[in-house]
Amino acid sequence: MYINRIPFAIGALTCAMLSACGGGGGGGGTSAAGTGTPQAPAPSETEIAITNDNTTQVASLGHLIVGNGLSLSMLTGETLVGAEVSTSQGARVPSLVELTFSAIDRALRRPSRTSASTTPVGAFTDSETVNCSESGSYTISGEAAHPINISPGDKSSIRYNNCVEQGVNITGTINIVISEASGFAESERAIKATTTVSNLRYSYESVSTSMNGTVQAYRKASSLSRGNGWVRSDGFTYDIQRGEVKSVLKSTGLEVTFKDDSFQTIYTITQTASANFPKLKGRFAVTTAIPLVQNSNGFIERGAVNLAGANSKLKLSYLQPSSNSTPLVQYQPDTNNDDNYEMQTTTTYDALTDSLW
């Protein structure tokens, strides 16, 4: 299994969805140890009209979508799914890709299985509870046709019981069902699975994000690479709460493809979604204009996406940083969809963080 402990570096997802960054919302929010799921407003189905007055908010939304869709930087399968604190950017929730494959990888790391009288002949079950570093625990259980080999129909689940790691409290469940598996005794392995996320909640101080939805995923990889594959979902919802302010992001159609290329990963993303944030709401679509290239440090070196609204669009481009420079993002609105961009703004990842709130 590929192991990479490089910190996640996309500031929009880091701070916008679950963060200790400035502007994270004050008093009255649900505490980290709370168990209630924030009830966000319904996503708006009116198409977003991109204007000169809201281009920063639209760019922030696009940056959030890119961050949410892409990073594979936490495919460790060794600890909790995506719970990590970056000293420079606070706490964060995982991207959908890393969440999915971290769960799958953890499900494939099997402890000794014993035949269970409650399962059919030839079936094997296991269950393991792990204490979290600060408090709480998570339980991994599974049911398989073979004690070692992975087979179609094998099932696994990860249940978080107020598990606190580095100040992040996690509750909820992830269920995994294997639909295809091959090459597990060879150098290149292929896996296809359905992952269902139920009330998975990440809480940090007065900020929380709850996730629900089903994801189809495929990956073919050697033990030394992320490999090639895709993630697809017809329905995945993020309910986000910062202090007393509640927001929602709902994906109604997502496909992310990825492939290894030496020390880089190349992505494409296509998504239809709707959102309701304090400073921007509506329905929109994201397509890849130029494939996104993420380097070994977790930064997107280059690539661009288009975010389409009501007879308008915005191009969001990632600019290749030098070895010591801050990653930059450039956005260009076309408010009347005539393929002429009215202006061009270049800024940093962090500058887009709080624009939606």
How much is the pLDDT for 150? 79
How much is the pLDDT for 30? 35
How much is the pLDDT for 85? 30
The Cα angle at residue 235 between residues 286 and 164, in degrees rounded to 5: 100
Asked if 127 contacts 141 with a C-beta cutoff of 8 angstroms, the reply is yes
| DSSP β-bridge partners for residue 130 | 138
The closest of 10, 15, 204, 1 to 103, measured between CA atoms, is 1
How much is the pLDDT for 2? 29
Q: Which residues of the chain have pLDDT under 70?
A: 1-40, 68-98, 106-124, 184-187, 222-226, 298, 321-324
How much is the pLDDT for 224? 52
How much is the pLDDT for 4? 29
How much is the pLDDT for 288? 96
How much is the pLDDT for 226? 63
How much is the pLDDT for 95? 66
How much is the pLDDT for 69? 62
Tokens of 142: 């599974």
How much is the pLDDT for 223? 58
How much is the pLDDT for 264? 82
